Amino acid sequence: MSVVAVQDVSKTFGTGHTAVAAVEHVSLTVDAGDIVLVMGPSGSGKTTLLSMIGTLMRPTGGRILIAGRDTADLGPSQLSAMRLREFGFVFQTFNLLSALTAEENVMMPLIAAGAGRKQARMKARAALEQLQLGHRLRSLPRDLSGGEKQRVAIARSLANEPRLILADEPTANLDGKTGRDVTLLLCQTACIENRAVIIVSHDQRLRVAAKRVVTIEDGRLTAEEPGEHDQHCRMHAPEPRSHENDR
């Protein structure tokens, strides 16, 4: 069963002569361990599509199934619970709460999902330490660099062990090295932890993490091609050849 099944989905804003079709008749499936990069120009419908998959927005037509559940059949409280337990969101603008430390920012969704404070703190700390932020547990967002803020945001998205990671321009505010680190982390998340990852971005660097690259233009999927994942991922790269057998 696919983690995500987008079936002939459309989204129209407005009515009558002012109606604007942001997404038109899009179908897409994403399985566990898959990394799909959705690319396209500004205004092409990328973020609208991601928002609908993340149940932040209802489609005008078509269906979106998450692990076989039709999101159209779920009420607001059920959708909220699904977002807490099934999804990890990585936003371009980080969306960290300025009054909370890095550790507390990661703890928030865990507590909202029902974890006790002790368990939430343990999970948050483990997630941050995995991202080399163990020395920043008690730092406020204003004291963090852009790359550190993005890693806190990623730690927050992973702490609940979600089935699906949704990333909106995750490298847009990062320098080259930090962008590569984030790209590698998303790759490892899919491969090692068998999670589905959907990324929308203009950043061509993310092709090295993607297993599939999908192009969206004027609200429609216009192309799909293999990404460069298998050429770069350490789990798939060929082992260095031993010279012992050449002797």
* The pLDDT of residue 237 is above 80: no
Binned at pLDDT 50, 70 and 90, residue 141 comes out as very high
All domains in the chain, ordered by first residue = 4-13+20-237 (3.40.50.300)
66-123: pLDDT as tens digits: 999 999 999 999 999 999 889 999 887 889 999 999 999 999 999 988 899 999 999 9
Cα-atom radius of gyration of the chain, to the nearest Å? 19
Helices (H), 44-160: 46-53, 76-86, 102-112, 117-130, 146-159
Residue type, 173: N
Number of CB atoms found within 10 A of residue 61's CB: 13
Predicted pLDDT at 73: 96
Q: Taking the CB of residue 78, how many other CB atoms lie within 10 A of it?
A: 13
* Residues whose CB is less than 8 angstroms from the CB of residue 111 and which lie 6 or more positions away in sequence, other chains included: 117, 120
- The model's pLDDT over 6-44, given as tens digits with 9 standing for 90+, comes to 999 999 999 888 899 999 999 999 999 999 999 999 899
pLDDT value, residue 47: 93
CA dihedral 185, 204, 174, 165 (to 10 degrees): -40
What pLDDT is attached to residue 239? 47
Arithmetic mean of pLDDT, 114-136: 93
pLDDT tens digits for range 151-202:
899 899 988 889 999 999 888 777 788 788 778 888 888 888 889 999 999 8
Model confidence at 45: pLDDT above 60: yes
Q: Is the pLDDT of residue 245 over 70?
A: no
Sign of CA dihedral 194, 233, 135, 92: negative
Mapped onto helix, strand or coil, the DSSP state of residue 25 is strand
Task: Inform me whether the pLDDT recorded for 241 exceeds 70.
Answer: no
